[in-house]
Amino acid sequence: MEATRKRKRVSKNKKNSWRKHTDITDVEEYLDDIRLQERTGGIAADKPDEKLFFFAKKDEEDDSVLSKRQQLRQKPLRCHANLEPDSHIKPIISSNVRNNSLKRRCTATREKITNGKLSKIEKQAADQRSEALLRSKNRRRQSRLPFQASYDLWSTDGKKVVEEEYFAKVTKKITPKVPRHMKLKPSELSAVENPHPGASYNPAYQDHQDLLHEAYMMEVKKIKNENRIDKQLDFPTVDQAPTQESWLKEMSAGLTEEDDKGEESFDDSGDEMTGNQAVRRENKKTDRQRKKQQNKKLKDRQIKDNKERRQRDQELFRLKSIKREVTRVEKVREEKLKRKQFLREKFKNKPKKLGKLKYEVPDLEITLTDELSGSLRLIKPEGNLLEDRFNSFQKRNVIETRIRAKFKRKYKDKVFEKSGHKAVTG
């Protein structure tokens, strides 16, 4: 005899306790039974007697002829029986499955699908697929064919060339393809520029004057830059020089204000609290307040969505103004592109800043009118060939701009005399 279980006494004044302490196993068993009946042919209580019961007719001749093993072979398999459509429950369709039925399509796409019309992109894709399939078939067909030499067997030159190409292809010794920019020159300037006509040993008067004017303008530009720097770094005059009173005023400025600020910050520092303050029981939000706050957030979000939707709808009526804005933006872009191309063409032959330093044009090598000599024998050598080539490399962007490094000793040289080399006195 089973011992009677003592009934647990619990309070059921809340829904949580109802769910926790109420026994609903009989209800769940009943619902499971109903679902099983629906999956396996329908509810038995709603079916008529003809579907529930049947008359078993025994065929004596068949039983006598067929054995038990043969009867089992004729019986349908369980795996096939489970696939029979005997359930009245609709299949579960997940929310992320896209329904591509014709009913959901618009009328234009529905007509295209029914009539078999393809868009321009779909036709292009079909053509590309057919071309790719044809290329792959040709590639496979060529790979199956044996190697055929397209040269004269008795000539030595042609045979040697083809053998070398085939050997390089098989052994992977073909040189890699060089990028296009590797063959481009960094500048279109010639390596050796023609000198100015006025730099000749016996120049014409006008050419020599043009060269002198060019050198003069370069010097004027240098002097202007130096004067500009000196002007920016100009030392104040006697009237503008600071006095003792101005120095004391500048040094004592802000001392009293800082002290006052410091005292105020020190006094106010006690009232401020760092970190999150603790929430007291009476200040804690109730479930009703939280639900109200959540509903308010949902309403605000709906208002915002409706506002955005109205703005999108209104944009349909301003298509002309949008088109004007697009044309204006495109025009500005075209102007910028033209300007960029113009500047690129303008500065394409000028030296670029490849490093920290900027390229500076060296001074022109000129001879004054008094120093000119009409014969080659009396010419004095000027300039340096290595420096000229070095400046040419920098100007043609072959190397970055460089200057000679200044060597500075960290320590002074020590001077001492060895004992073996001292002068002998006696």
Highest average pLDDT, of 150-164, 276-290, 315-329, 404-418, comes from 315-329
Flag whether pLDDT at 331 surpasses 90: yes
More confident call, 86 vs 364: 364
Looking at residue 15, what is its pLDDT?
81
Residue 315 has pLDDT above 60, yes or no: yes
Question: 266 by DSSP, 3-state: which?
Answer: helix
**Helical H segments across 233-286, by residue range:** 244-252, 255-268
What's the pLDDT score for residue 248?
A: 87
Which has the higher per-residue pLDDT, 264 or 253? 253
Question: Which of 193-207, 229-243, 402-416 has the weakest average pLDDT?
Answer: 229-243
| Token representation of residue 200 | 């000749």
Residue 390 has a CB neighbour count (10 Å cut-off) of 14
Q: Which residue has the higher pLDDT, 269 or 275?
A: 275
Percent of the chain at pLDDT > 70 equals 80
pLDDT tens per residue, range 138-183: 989 888 887 776 666 676 654 455 456 666 667 766 677 788 888 8
pLDDT at position 265: 52
pLDDT for 295: 94
Task: Round to whole Å and give the CA distance between 412 and 401.
Answer: 32
DSSP-derived secondary structure for 104-125: GS-HHHHHHHHHT---HHHHHH
pLDDT at 1 (0 to 100): 46
Q: CA 302, 303, 308, 312: dihedral to nearest 10 degrees? A: 90
Q: What is d(CA 190, CA 149) in angstroms, rounded to the nearest whole number?
A: 47
Q: What is the pLDDT of residue 274?
A: 56
**For the residues 384-410, what does the mean pLDDT come to?**
89
Tell me which of 176-180, 257-261, 331-335, 382-386 is least confident: 257-261
Q: What is the pLDDT of residue 91?
A: 61
The answer to whether the predicted template modeling score (pTM) of the entire model surpasses 0.85 is no
Q: What is the mean pLDDT of the chain?
A: 81
Please state, in angstroms and rounded to a whole number, the distance separating the CA atoms of residues 39 and 85.
10
Residue 299 has pLDDT above 90, yes or no: yes
Q: Is the pLDDT of residue 239 over 70?
A: yes
Single-letter residue type at 147: F
172: left (phi over 0), alpha (psi -120 to 50) or beta: left
Model pLDDT, residue 156: 60
Q: For 269-384, where are the alpha helices, taking DSSP H only? A: 287-315, 319-346
pLDDT of residue 388: 92
Tell me the backbone φ, ψ of residue 86, rounded to 5 degrees. Answer: -110, 10
Give the tokens for residue 93. 């369709």
Question: Is 221 within 8 Å of 232 (Cβ atoms)?
Answer: no
Of how many residues is the chain composed? 426
Tens digits of residue pLDDT in 86-140: 656 666 665 555 555 667 777 777 777 778 777 888 889 989 999 999 999 998 9
Residue 86 has a pLDDT of 60
* pLDDT recorded at residue 426: 47
**Amino acid 153: pLDDT:** 63
DSSP 396: T
Half-sphere exposure at residue 142, Cβ-oriented, CA atoms within 13 angstroms: 6
